[in-house]
Structure 1
């Protein structure tokens, strides 16, 4: 977890962050998510952190398998634009004919294989979807749509 100048107690009030361990949270309730694999996901998270003075919003990383990175975004904020194939939308939209879930780790303690690359902040803001989209498009060389 990126713990530079971070107060764990400040984000404890978020109802979707578990007290300990990991819990699955249904996308479309508290947040939607964009999932990006491995090195690209980590590079994207770090680029967003640079663009936002170290506060990109909550980003979860996975340490096993395809080492996915999950960017938590506002509910309903991703469906109106096309995303590069490197990104998978995890939403609560019914047209997908299935529910999507995201594993959310506690702010501290044993949460392997998930951890916070960038934990939620005091102000409850999520990752800005347009900034996420544009930054990803630039990284993969994919022409972004007009906002």
Structure 2
């Protein structure tokens, strides 16, 4: 079973400017309403620590593995509940250079595993709302500097 949550927003600055904000993980508690913490060495293959607080939910901390770190383009990780196959989430931030000084920011997560049907409604509502709130704050912060 799988469930994809995907959001996007147009940000009126270059991908470089968006990237600068996105990769400063130590600043997340100051502006990010969804991802409260990212700690660790964000290099492909490394395990990091992430805490999220979806709207209407309690904070959740997990230790995903970094999948991608492509400068000015993409960050992603894969987290699992207990062990692989139960409830896995591949989270991704993508920055698309529109060639006109703007960036399309895409935030997505592909959930897989036997427990996905159990969490489907919460994912569609709370997790997606968390993505959208983060996207709006990222846009606001990027465009205000």
Tell me the TM-score normalized by structure 2. 0.28
Tell me the TM-score normalized by structure 1. 0.28
Higher share in helix: 2
Higher share in strand: 2
